[in-house]
Amino acid sequence: MKILNKRAKFDYQILEKYEAGIVLSGGEAKAVRTGHVNLTNSYAKILGNEAYLINANIPIARALNYEPTKSRKLLLHKAEITSILSKIKAKKLTLVPISVYTTHNLVKVQLGLGKSKKKFEKKEIIKKRDLERELRG
């Protein structure tokens, strides 16, 4: 199962991609496998020497006192975290989750270092897409 964050590719120009594991509870892992994940307003942040996925919505069925948008720890190597942190500070980039997918029994998150697009750049992309649709149809 692969869940994409379409908003990330529209709002950011992705420069580099990383793969990270994610710490989930049993119910959360089941929700990811069934495709119940929303990454629309989520982002990743490095706090201390650890990476966290913030504001990702993973709802669990029949759970009491459960917060679906809590922060979840990402599993990255220490060298990857330091390189990401230095690139974020130097170039003013954002760490954005691009997709969540399963490989064998593991749940992985694909992260991207993205540079924010300006409003006029987004409008140009929409115009190009509309022109291509008109030419095809």
Q: What is this structure's pTM?
A: 0.84
For each of the domains in the chain, give its residue range(s) and CATH number, in order of start.
2-136 (2.40.280.10)
Quick one: pLDDT at residue 15? Answer: 93
Tokens of 105: 């029994």
- Collect all residues with Cβ–Cβ distance below 8 Å to 56 and sequence separation of at least 6: 37, 38, 39, 42, 69, 72, 97, 100
Quick one: pLDDT at residue 98? Answer: 95
Encode the chain (137 residues) as per-residue pLDDT tens digits: 899 988 888 889 999 999 999 999 888 999 999 999 999 899 999 998 999 999 999 998 887 888 999 999 999 999 999 999 999 999 889 999 999 999 988 999 999 999 988 888 889 888 999 999 999 87
